[in-house]
Amino acid sequence: MRQSLKSWLVAAGVLLLGRRRDEKDENARVVAPGPRNPGRELAAVLLFAAAGLCATAFPVIYALDRLPRPTQLLGLSLGLAFAFLAAALIVLAKGVVPEEELEEEYLLPRVHDQEEVAEILEQSTDRITRRRLLGLAAGAAGAAVGVALVTPAVSLGPVFDMSQYYDTPWERGRRLVDEKGKPLLADDIETDVFYTAFAEGADKDAVGSSLIVIRLEPAQLELPAGREGWAPEGILAYSKICTHAGCAVNLYRTPLFDPVEPGPALVCPCHYSTFNPATGGTVEFGPAGRPLPQLPLLIASGGELQAGGNFSAAPGPAWWGVRLRKPT
Amino acid sequence: MIRRAVAFLDERTGTAPILKKALRYVFPDHWSFLLGEVALYAFIVLVATGVYLAFFFVPSTETVVYHGTYAPLQGVEMSKAYESVVNISLQVKAGLLLRQTHHWAANVFIAAIVIHMLRIFFTGAYRKPRELTYYIGLTMLILALLEGYLGYSLADDLLSGMGLAIGYSVALSLPFVGANVAMLIWNGEFPGAPDFWPRMYMAHILLLPVAIGVLIGIHLLLVASRHHTQFRGPRRTERKVVGTPTFPGQTPKSLGLMFGTTSLLFLLGGLVQINPIWLWGPYETYLSTNGAQPDWYLGWLIGGLRLMPPWEPSAFGYTFVPNPFWGGAAFPLLVFGTLALWPSIERRVTGDRGFHNLLDRPRDAPWRTAFGSALVTWVFLIFVAGSADRVDVFFGLSYVNQIYAYWVVIWILPVVVFALVYRACRQLQTKELLESDHRRAEIEARAARTAT
């Protein structure tokens, strides 16, 4: 019993620690022989062990609740495990694995095969008499089948119905409300502050719903012709969605610093399109190609702000028909 | 044991001859030939981490009220998509590590592709017989940009929502068809119908990764069938490739690189925070924030959009080119179009239709190197222009003045770079010629001296 245990132990030891001796004839080899490098092998073994250790830490960290900074520890354990693996393989690559330099021919064009393929193709079809007609018929059929196969993709959306782009919830008398649905009062609108408002009862996320509301001195205003009475007491409302790329206009340049900032401006933080609220939202700077659409305002008897109609132009980023119609 | 395994495999699959060839396939050695491999390994990490994330992500814009562990968002209305990404980040064990590693891997993936492509361009590796490999690589770069964009858009946080609004505007800006195309993709005006999110998700986890995976396969098959290119060197000719065999020589190196890349990505994912979406809050169309920057690989498009003057040609109420088209679509189309046409342009200009297995050094082709450097300069300047607002904040340079400066610089500097690089290449060539003349003269002189 003890004897067999001993021989097992010896066998295990030899298996683990023993080095393989290759007795084959060195001349008939495919892979070039090289010097043995037990030191490097040992280094690789140690690196593999380190990798194993780091990897083992991962489930341990995972299982231990309430460790501080688990993400960092988990990342370190996996990251280091892979780093040690990489190091082990590089140690093996430099010194343990045979370093050979082989040559191989680049493939040359196989002219004979090319010729044969061409012949097969040509000779298989050379009995056809009405080549062009046949090609035309097959092409037409193919195109028709292709169109049929992509037709269901039209169900993805109302591809020819552009009415949504002109739709807004605004109409004369619609109240302006804040994010919580509370009506905006004219008296609460201060200068040097901007307010975000929505059409009462409408989806706040709809492009046509959100507004940016500010108050300027009535004397400052130079609104375009036809917008008389759109800004009662100097209170102005513009679409909040930038006419350039659809981001929310969320910067209000005021109070002013005269040397560099000549007038109040509404600015979009995405590409810095800059609109002048005093002149009807005209573009002062930046890539926007259209003014910010203005919403006419009314002050109702209770002091509530209401729309006096719809926007001066369709809100939102430009498309081919954005200037064709007024919003409805 | 090995013999039996090989016999088993060969007798059932007949692969021994192919295996023999594959094991002894020759890899020419140069560090720059490993860049594509880094991209491949980053892709593997992306797929692996992405599968984990997909188990927890909910691609839905349905509104919920947050009641998770993160106090600042308690009671906030948000989409299920955003809620699930907050939960992956803050509640799912190891979730943040996987999410951050996934995001870092995307950044490294595209960086590796871009640098790999620069190497291919400046060494003329795209020339016959490897044009197809090049076109496929370029296609993968474009798909990877789209894939990355969709990936960070899915989170539905404030920043990604702003990015989607811009993407929507670029789609909308396509001349003549934009509004119709956007209707198809979003199924309605922005922010779109509820089915938009599953569509985006399906494209991100199925369509695009499968397309990239298939193209990687073809790319590698083509590389293997035409063999690697190599730089000039002893015994290396247009007919003969010299290098290390796949096995044993190249295998531990490549595996080492794979583990090294993976290690880097997990270390970044664990130690370097990226896109902490719980800080940004959920997106609504009426919200935005200052100082928003996209992932680096879309920075050039932000720059293009910002630099564009407010041109929007329209007549009779019809808008021909909405402004975002210039920077968001025409600019990348021009860059990718130039890159796609370059091999044929070069063939036509130089009249060179021969096989090229030996690589050029950049100096060997001054025109190409100068043109490539000018193109890179142009795109890079526009990329830098995309962060002009940050420069304003950090260095106090007026944003407006910076934009005016860029309007001049982006046209002048590429020309200057072209001229300088061309001259440098020519001078390096001349210097080499002189040196080799000098060496030959010395040898002759020495020979003459010993003869006398």
Q: Find residues 295-354 of chain B whose CB sits inside 8 Å of chain A.
A: 302, 305-312, 314, 317-320, 322-324, 327-328
- On chain B, the residues whose CB falls within 8 A of the CB of A33 are none
pLDDT score at B232: 93
pLDDT score at A13: 67
Least confident of A5-19, A97-111, A278-292: A5-19
pLDDT score at A26: 56
Q: Find residues 162-191 of chain B whose CB sits inside 8 Å of chain A.
A: 162, 165-166, 168-170, 172-173, 175-180, 182-191
pLDDT score at A105: 93
Q: Is the separation of the CB atoms in B94 and B270 below 8 Å?
A: no
**Share of residues in chain A with pLDDT > 90 (%):** 80
pLDDT score at B449: 87
| Average pLDDT along chain B, 452 residues, taken 10 residues at a time | 93 93 93 96 98 97 96 96 97 96 98 98 96 98 98 96 97 97 96 96 98 98 94 93 92 96 98 96 95 93 97 95 97 98 96 94 96 98 96 92 97 98 97 93 90 74
Is the pLDDT reported for residue A262 higher than 90? no
Give the residue from B291, B289, B297, B295 showing the smallest Cα distance to B275: B295
* C-alpha R_g of chain A: 39
Q: What is the average pLDDT across A95-104?
A: 90
Is the pLDDT reported for residue A254 higher than 80? yes
Is the pLDDT reported for residue A19 higher than 70? no
pLDDT in tens, A128-144: 999 999 999 999 999 99
Q: What is the average pLDDT across A236-254?
A: 96
- On chain A, the residues whose CB falls within 8 A of the CB of B249 are 93, 97-100
Q: Which residue has the higher pLDDT, A28 or A190?
A: A190
Q: Which residues make Cβ contacts (< 8 Å) with residue B226, sequence separation at least 6?
A: A106, A107, B129, B130, B133
pLDDT score at A261: 78
pLDDT score at A120: 96
pLDDT score at B314: 95
Between chains, do A104 and B240 touch, taking CB under 8 Å as contact? yes
pLDDT score at A17: 64
pLDDT in tens, A22-49: 555 556 788 888 888 999 999 999 999 9
pLDDT score at A16: 66
Q: Is the separation of the CB atoms in B407 and B385 below 8 Å?
A: no
pLDDT score at A30: 85
Type of residue found at B353: R
pLDDT score at A144: 98
Least confident of A11-15, A258-262, A267-271, A297-301: A11-15
Residue of A nearest to B243 (CA): A101
Query: Which string of DSSP letters, residue by residue, matches B259-311?
Result: HHHHHHHHHHHHHS----HHHH-B--TT---TT----GGGHHHHHHHHH--S-
User: Structure pTM?
Assistant: 0.94
Between chains, do A75 and B292 touch, taking CB under 8 Å as contact? no
pLDDT score at A23: 52
Q: Which of B270, B286, B322 sits opposite A76 (nearest CB)?
A: B270
In sign, the C-alpha dihedral spanning B353, B358, B362, B366 is: negative
Q: Is the separation of the CB atoms in B112 and B35 below 8 Å?
A: yes
Is the pLDDT reported for residue A1 higher than 80? no
- On chain B, the residues whose CB falls within 8 A of the CB of A87 are 256
Residue of A nearest to B264 (CA): A79
pLDDT score at A20: 57
Q: What is the average pLDDT across A283-303?
A: 96
Cα distances (Å, whole numbers) of residue A249 to A197, A266, B306: 12, 7, 15
pLDDT score at A256: 83
Q: What is the interface size between A and B, counted as CB pairs within 8 Å?
A: 293
Nearest 5 degrees, angle CA B248-CA B252-CA B255?
Answer: 135
Q: Which of B177, B189, B288 sits opposite A270 (nearest CB)?
A: B288
Cα distances (Å, whole numbers) of residue B323 to B49, B165, B226, B333, B383: 38, 14, 44, 15, 18
Q: Which of B259, B309, B357 sits opposite A106 (nearest CB)?
A: B357
SS3 for A327? Answer: coil
Q: Is the separation of the CB atoms in B368 and B343 below 8 Å?
A: no
In sign, the C-alpha dihedral spanning A169, A170, A172, A178 is: positive
The whole-chain average pLDDT of chain A stands at: 92
